[in-house]
């Protein structure tokens, strides 16, 4: 065999799950809005990903740029290290993404959250908007439906998150069927069930329907919490909201265009508001 010219990556290629394992995971994911899968990443991969994250947060060239948001979110990671690029196609993760949003699924985001004590996205929310809203008179979506998923997040724990104090992601099971935003700022309840904590060990991963009510519990421990997240979308969505919107318009035209045009084209920044 010809020797590879590329240096070997600490990220392994991995193997897809067997079809029956995938089905069991997807059944939980569609029912609850999340599904944990223990020990997918090796200790070596976890250590390498934490190390590159720390190096990037410490890089003075990235301070104050679009690569670091709020001092604890590392964004645009594919641009920053081949390790993150390898993680996008790491199995069984890609195979699960293909099973959920299609064989031709595409990347739609990758970040690392590095939460020191006291820092978290602790507000209960769904990402962006409620995609399938219901009017006041309709209590919930029919449980016989499988709620559509057009994009979703794979969360990968890079540290142990073993107690409430460690700032786990929390979910309200089944709340992607609510058709609503979280119904209480502190203790939302859906179908008689309150929040559950995603306690996990470094190397565990969990799938997250972004329409399921969730938050990061406040980190009250002395540990920093590391989560790598990869996001995958259906091909139609990346074509519609990605490819079709990358139509160059001359900069001098944009600068002098009406505010209405600038907003519709996307030249002006989006109104303030979190979208994670
Ligand atoms: Fe979120």
- Say yes or no to pLDDT of 165 above 80: yes
Distance (Å, rounded) from C-alpha 29 to C-alpha 99? Answer: 12
Q: How far is the CA of 28 from the centre of ligand 1 (A)?
A: 19
Q: Could you give the domains of the chain?
A: 19-233 (2.60.120.620)
Asked if residues 51 and 69 have their Cβ atoms less than 8 Å apart, the reply is: no
Q: Tell me, what's the pLDDT at 3? A: 55
Q: How far is the CA of 167 from the centre of ligand 1 (A)?
A: 14
> Which residues touch 217 (CB under 8 Å, ≥6 apart)?
120, 122, 164, 167, 168, 169, 170, 197
Q: How far is the CA of 2 from the centre of ligand 1 (A)?
A: 45
Question: Is residue 268 classed as helix, strand or coil in its secondary structure?
Answer: coil
For 33-78, what is each residue's pLDDT tens digit?
999 999 999 999 999 999 999 999 999 999 999 999 998 999 999 9
Q: How far is the CA of 209 from the centre of ligand 1 (A)?
A: 9
Distance (Å, rounded) from C-alpha 226 to C-alpha 174? Answer: 26
Q: How far is the CA of 153 from the centre of ligand 1 (A)?
A: 9
Return the closest-CA partner of residue 111 out of 60, 57, 37, 63: 57
For 82-122, what is each residue's pLDDT tens digit?
999 999 999 999 999 999 999 999 999 999 999 999 988 89
Q: Tell me, what's the pLDDT at 268? A: 77
Report every protein residue that has its C-beta within 5 angstroms of ion ligand 1.
127, 276
Residue 170, strand partner residues: 197, 215
> How many CA atoms lie within 13 Å of 272's alpha carbon, on the beta-carbon side?
0
Q: How far is the CA of 239 from the centre of ligand 1 (A)?
A: 23
Q: Tell me, what's the pLDDT at 270? A: 62
Residue 253 CA, distance from chain mean position: 36
Structure-token match 């600068």, residue found: 255
Neighbours of 206 (CB within 10 A): 23
* Mean pLDDT (the chain, rounded): 94
Q: How far is the CA of 254 from the centre of ligand 1 (A)?
A: 32
Q: How far is the CA of 274 from the centre of ligand 1 (A)?
A: 9
Choose the weakest-confidence range: 90-94, 223-227, 246-250. 246-250
Q: How far is the CA of 83 from the centre of ligand 1 (A)?
A: 24
pTM: 0.92
């Amino acid at each position: 065999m010809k020797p590879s010219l590329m240096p070997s990556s600490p990220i392994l290629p991995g193997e897809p799950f067997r079809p029956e394992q995938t089905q069991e995971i997807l059944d939980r994911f569609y029912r609850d809005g999340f599904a944990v899968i223990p020990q997918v990443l090796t200790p070596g991969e976890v250590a390498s990903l934490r190390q590159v994250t720390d190096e990037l947060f410490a890089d003075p060239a990235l301070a104050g740029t679009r690569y670091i948001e709020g001092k604890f979110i590392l964004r645009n990671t594919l641009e920053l290290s081949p390790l993150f690029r390898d993680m996008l196609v790491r199995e069984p993760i890609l195979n699960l993404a293909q099973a959920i949003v299609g064989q031709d699924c595409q990347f739609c985001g990758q970040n690392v959250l590095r939460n020191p004590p006291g820092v978290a996205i602790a507000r209960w929310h769904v990402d962006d908007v409620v995609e399938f809203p219901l009017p006041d008179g309709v209590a919930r979506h029919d449980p016989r439906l499988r709620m559509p998923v057009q994009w979703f997040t794979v969360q990968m724990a890079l540290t142990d998150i073993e107690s409430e104090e460690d700032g786990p992601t929390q979910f309200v099971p089944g709340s992607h069927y609510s058709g609503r935003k979280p119904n209480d700022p502190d203790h939302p309840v859906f179908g008689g069930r309150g929040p559950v904590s995603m306690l996990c060990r470094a190397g565990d991963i969990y799938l997250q329907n972004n329409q399921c009510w969730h938050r990061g519990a406040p980190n009250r421990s002395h540990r920093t919490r590391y989560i790598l997240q990869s996001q995958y979308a259906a091909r139609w969505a990346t074509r519609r909201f990605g490819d079709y919107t990358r139509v160059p318009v001359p900069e001098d035209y944009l600068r002098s265009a009406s505010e209405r045009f600038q907003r519709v084209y996307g030249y002006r920044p989006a109104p303030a508001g979190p979208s994670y």
